[in-house]
Amino acid sequence: MNDRRRSRFAASLLALGLTVALACAARPAAATEPGPPPAPPSGPLSAQDAVRLAAQHSPTLRSALIEVERAAVLVRGEDKRYTPLFTSQLDYVHSTNPSLHTSGVSSGTNDAVNAQVAINQQFAWGTLVAAELTLGRTSSKYVSPQFPDPTSLGPGYGLELRLSATQPLLRGAGRTLWEAELRSARLVERTARTAAEQAGSEVAQAVLTAWWELWYAEQAVRIQQAAKETAERQVAEAQVKVDAGAMARLAVLPLRSSLATIEEQLLAAETTVRTARITLARLVGGSLAASDLVTGGGEAPAVTALDLPLAQAIDDAMVGAVELTQLRANVEQARLQVAVAEEQAELKLDASAWVSLQGLGNQSVGDAVTQFGEFGAVSGGVSVALELPVNRTTLRSAAAAARLSVDAAAERLRAAEEQVAQQVAELYEQAASAQARIALAERTAAIARETAEGQAISFESGAGTALEVVTAQQDQRQAALRVVRARVDYELARLALLHLTGRLLDRLTAPG
């Protein structure tokens, strides 16, 4: 993820009410502790409020943020891998050594105490540097065939500083091997951040989809309720005429049949509202009963035009689709494995150098320090070590297999890019078609409303039949339902397109 997308990721999630979740993700100790549940919605719930509540509640999003923190922890650990290593050691050794001589066997003894401290530094380009400081005290009773009686030596005090360095010349020279795990961890972190942004977009899409489906269900209930009231009024007026002998009883039956059908459709619409409320309540973290969860039941917000050209939508999807981000990370990971495999197939040739400064004192620590400070005993050496496998077929085969893995990963990425481009084009056409359907459905609804009103007037004047009225009113209801359905279909296609192109969070957080 580049810097622009990383900053957009943080700003979008913060604007969606994820302050608590992101703060938890920034503190490892609290990353697994969910925040307090959001306040249950009361009264009309706007689409923006629904997204905000869902973002605070979503376990999926919280899990994605925890994965981001886990990946960041791994990067921090790998980034600090090559830090100085301090070691210390304290030894005491007592030994007894028997020796033959002309009179028999005698034994000598040796007591040694050594204290050592050392520091080692491995660098990310392969160099290893070490420094060791040793302090020692030795005392002994010496025997030999020529001197069967023990002769005391010491105590002697020793001081030594040893510096050494090793530098790979072929395998391990440079950062390829030593920073492979760090680069891999950074790939994982980048993918996790993209997945977290995708999770936030998925939460927003799911909530907005549920909100629009609830809005449609509420509109369907409103349309059916208005139709029921009209049908009840018409049945009552017709019954008055029947009772007055101005109309035949059979002429009322189509109106009564229509009223029964409307009541049945109203019941189904009310059931749809209740199930839609349950779905939305689950997403926003409210009670599943959610009998008072409503969108407001009014007119929908104004239609937002598709101001994104198809070519730009495809380009955005190439950058924003989490599937493609994961596949690109797989390609980079495969290339990293190629570099490591080729490095491991190289010969191992290391150059080493060391220098030692010593001081020794007999029954006097000061003499040892003096000799050490005057550089009285300096030693050093250099060496070159070569490691050459008799048969390098296995190593070369591993490198060749890794290169083939890169090719396979690249082909999978190419196939996924083609599929994403196809999905964007299909969603774009669906949104454009739904947008066109809105205008056509509104025109049809206007004509159907005028027709129904005309048939009702004709029936009341005795020039029309009840069946004509029922048919016209049924056409009017269906046309009105098609208007709201086309609006919802357009919004759902637009949401899917914005989600796939990675623009959904931007649109939700844009001012105005």
- Tell me if 374 is assigned to some domain: yes
Number of domains in the chain: 2
- Tell me if 176 is assigned to some domain: no
Same domain, yes or no: 208 and 274: yes
Query: By residue range, what is the domain housing residue 365?
Result: 84-122+127-171+349-387
- Tell me if 115 is assigned to some domain: yes
Same domain, yes or no: 363 and 468: no
Half-sphere exposure (Cβ direction) of 58: Cα atoms closer than 13 Å: 31
Tokens of 41: 């919605």
Same domain, yes or no: 197 and 291: yes
Same domain, yes or no: 430 and 290: yes
Q: Which residues contact 349 (CB under 8 A, 6 or more apart)?
A: 168, 169, 170, 171, 384, 385, 386, 387
CATH number, residue 29: 1.20.1600.10
Same domain, yes or no: 354 and 424: no
Same domain, yes or no: 266 and 239: yes
Same domain, yes or no: 163 and 209: no
Same domain, yes or no: 131 and 252: no
Q: Which residues of the chain have pLDDT under 50?
A: 1-35, 40, 512
Same domain, yes or no: 43 and 153: no
Q: Output the pLDDT for position 431.
A: 87
Same domain, yes or no: 214 and 264: yes
Do 185 and 374 touch, CB atoms closer than 8 A? no
Same domain, yes or no: 267 and 409: yes
Q: Output the pLDDT for position 173.
A: 84
Which of 387, 413, 433 corresponds to the end of one domain? 387
- Tell me if 42 is assigned to some domain: yes
Residue for token pair 């039956």: 253
- Tell me if 337 is assigned to some domain: no
Same domain, yes or no: 220 and 325: yes
Do 277 and 214 touch, CB atoms closer than 8 A? yes
CA nearest neighbour of 500 among 310, 215, 300: 310
Tokens of 36: 């307090």
Q: Output the pLDDT for position 29.
A: 37
Handedness of CA 319, 324, 326, 330 (dihedral sign): negative
- Tell me if 343 is assigned to some domain: no
- Tell me if 392 is assigned to some domain: no
pTM of the model: 0.68
- Tell me if 148 is assigned to some domain: yes
Per the document, the length of the chain is 512
